[in-house]
Structure formats: C-alpha cells, structure tokens
C-alpha cells in the first residue's frame, strides 16, 4: 500500500495486529484482572484470511485497513473475551465486531492506483494465530508504538 501512496503514516510490519477488544486507559489493578482472564481463556489456534482492502474516509487522508474473512474460532474467542470483560465491569464499545488490520493512517493514494493490484496480492495470504497478546499503544513523536504486556498461547 505504501508504494502506491503519495502520503501516509503506515503501520510497520512488526506492529500489524488485529484488535479483539479496545480497552483504553487501564489501571495496574485492572491489568491483573485482564491477565487472569487471558490465562483462563479457552480457544483453539486458527487461520485468518484477508478478505478485502477498505478504508475509513478522513479529510486529511484515509485510514486503510485489511478486512478479515469470517472465522468461527476468531469470533468465538472475541465473544468470550468481550463477555468476560463486561462481567468484570469494563466499559466496552457496544457495536458489532468487524475484524480488520489497520495498515495506515492519513493515507492518500496516487491517482494511478488500481485496487485489483492489491486484491491479487492479498488473496493468498494466510495468518496463523496461536497466541493472543495484551498490547499497550503509545503515541511517541506522533507515531503509534505497540508493546506486548501479556501473552496467552492458544493450543
């Protein structure tokens, strides 16, 4: 996507991720609760397949994302996490979960860009998922940096 763009802030490959639940600011005490929920999570490994390139329109440049095909195990895992967090009193977004991977923000594509080029490139991508990470995101010098706080291997 970056090579077809005239501008944008792109997510580096090591920071690409799929959000299961956005939590916002969390206290250290609440982190202990989340880690416990993760450690007790029952899930099986699964494979994600990209479905399409999409974007959220913004005046200063669009937010581009990679949609994910429906996956029963992904949806089950997200629902378990969502319900467990609600049960513990977390305030969560109340909207339909639509899995996607953010690729870039404030992106403006070159006039010559053709969606079919990227559609062809993404159709054979497979992402093996065997771990769930609790991530911290911080804005450093205008760039979002992600770091892992806790991990749960799923098997």
If one compares 76 and 137, the residue with the highest pLDDT of the two is 76
Q: Which of 151, 155, 142, 133 is nearest to 19 (CA)?
A: 133
Q: What is the CATH number of the domain that holds 55?
A: 3.90.1140.10
Mean pLDDT, range 93-119, rounded to an integer: 88
Positions of E strands within 1-155: 5-10, 46-48, 50-56, 62-68, 100-109, 127-129, 131-140, 143-153
Total count of domains within the chain: 1
pTM of the full structure: 0.86
pLDDT tens sequence across 35-81: 999 999 999 999 999 998 999 999 999 999 999 999 999 999 999 99
Q: Enumerate the active-site residues.
A: 17, 100
Q: How far apart are CA 74 and CA 99, in angstroms?
A: 9
Is the confidence at residue 31, as pLDDT, over 80? yes
């Amino acid at each position: 996507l970056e090579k077809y763009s005239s501008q944008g802030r792109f997510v580096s490959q090591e920071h690409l991720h799929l959000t299961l639940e956005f939590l916002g600011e969390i206290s250290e005490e609440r982190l202990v609760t989340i880690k416990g929920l993760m450690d007790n999570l029952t899930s099986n490994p699964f494979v994600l397949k990209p479905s399409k390139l999409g974007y959220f329109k913004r005046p200063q440049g669009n937010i581009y994302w990679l949609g994910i095909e429906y996956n029963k195990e992904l949806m089950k895992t997200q629902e378990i996490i969502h319900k467990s967090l609600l049960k513990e009193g977390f305030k969560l977004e109340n909207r339909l979960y639509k899995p996607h991977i953010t690729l870039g923000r404030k992106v403006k594509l070159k006039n010559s860009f053709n969606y079919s080029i990227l559609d062809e490139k993404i159709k054979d991508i497979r992402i093996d998922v065997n771990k769930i990470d609790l991530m911290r995101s911080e804005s450093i010098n205008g760039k979002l940096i992600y770091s892992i706080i806790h991990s749960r291997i799923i098997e």
